[in-house]
Chain A
Amino acid sequence: MLRGLGGDGAAHGQLLRALVPVLRGFYRRRMAGRDDDIEDLLQETLIAVHERRASYDVTRPFTSWLFAVARYKMIDHFRKSGRTCAIDGLEDILEAEGFTKASDAAADIDRLLDTIPPKQAAAIRAIRLEGLSTAEAASQLKLGESDIKVSVHRGLKALASKVRDSLK
């Protein structure tokens, strides 16, 4: 660093090169799993180290200066990315939200179906939730087709009255 401050370009390059693994480690520890961001940040920090090198006091430890710059750059990065949410992550977020909604709904349905006779519950699952035809459901559950139809009908009626009761 000192020779770089003296105007020695090669020494300055050497310093920057030596900083790469240090900074990468610094950011990895703090921002795990965001490798693209880390590379951006690394380059920004190198530029800052270069441009703002006049603010380094040669009588003080270099690392404390370096990490202060790195920390500032990280906070600045968070501030920027906090304002503009990256759009490529959006699908994952939406999917995750859909999953919670679906799993909540599934838990509700499971709880309700537990309250009606198992034969009716099985019939409703097969026809209404899994979307099988009456014939497929009949062969899967080893019941008559009309039995399935009646079970679904009665089951839904029972569920409806339970929901109505719970809403009262």
Chain B
Amino acid sequence: MKTEDLIDALSADVAPVPRYALSRRLLGGLVLGGAVTLLAVAGFLGFRPDLWLAMHGAMFWIKWFYTGSLALCASLATARLGRPDAGAAGWLWIACVPVVGLMIISIQELASVPSSQWLGMWLGASWKVCSKNVFLLSVPIFAGLLWSFRRLAPTRLRLAGATAGLTAGAWGATLYCLHCPESSAVFVLTWYSLGIALAALVGAMLGPRLMRW
């Protein structure tokens, strides 16, 4: 095919690109995936029965703040990695702040109770399924992000994949909070983070394959 013909063909269909096209596209993927995840939480897991009550307590908001701020930082980093000339993802460093914050809260929490209760707090009642659920709930969001990336141009595929996985995992965990009745910081720090990290790891493995363009 001659280059000239190609250019004619390409400029024949030029849909206008809105000002914040990249952010909109990513948001679209996130919302679509998030909706599926929310339905999965509602349908398969069910919201925690004491949700309204829990919303008056501090722990619910600490959990939400932890996963939500992680999700926000990861989303912003993902948006930067969707551009080909992206710099280093500074938002990923900021994402360390909530992790460190929750660590401090966990240590305080552990220090305030006798050590015989530590194991119970750490394992809670659902440690066997928590990470798995967080990971599974991240899958629809990750798929949504992959759809978004089809119009974006990441050049560091592994990092972009990992960050997309982190975003999906953190949003998945945020929605999982609506179900999970656990209320200890050290539980969240361990098992939520494990699920989120797993999502990021899988994202890093899939990124170079699925995000090529």
Contact = CB atoms under 8 A, between A and B. Distances in A.
A48 B7 CA distance: 12
18 contacts: A7-B17, A9-B14, A12-B11, A13-B7, A13-B11, A16-B10, A16-B11, A20-B7, A46-B7, A51-B213, A52-B152, A52-B153, A57-B83, A64-B85, A71-B155, A72-B84, A72-B153, A76-B212
Given A7-B17, A46-B3, 4 more contacts: A20-B7, A46-B6, A52-B152, A65-B83
A71 B85 CA distance: 10
A54 B85 contact: no
Interface size class of A (residues with CB under 8 A): 35 or more
A76 B153 CA distance: 13
Interface of B: 1, 3, 6-8, 10-17, 19, 21-22, 25, 82-85, 151-153, 155, 212-213
A48 B12 CA distance: 15
Contacts, number: 86
Contacts of A60: 85
B6 A43 contact: yes
Contacts of A163: none
A6 B15 CA distance: 8
Contacts of B85: 60, 64-65, 67-68
B3 A48 contact: no
B14 A42 contact: no
Interface string A1-32: 00011111110110011001000000000000
A7 B7 contact: no
- Among A5, A50, A55, max chain B CB count under 10 A is at A55
Contacts of B21: 54
A7 B16 contact: yes
Contacts of B213: 48, 51-52
B153 A47 contact: no
A165 B25 CA distance: 78
Contacts of A55: 22, 82-84, 151-153
Contacts of B3: 20, 39, 42-43, 46
A93 interface: no
A53 interface: yes
Contacts of A6: 16-17
A5 B19 CA distance: 9
A55 B6 CA distance: 21
Contact of A53 (B7, B8, B17, B212): B17
Contacts of B84: 52, 55, 65, 68-69, 72
A136 B16 CA distance: 83
Contacts of A72: 84, 153, 155
A160 interface: no
Given A54-B25, A54-B151, A72-B155, A7 B14 contact: yes
A52 B151 contact: yes
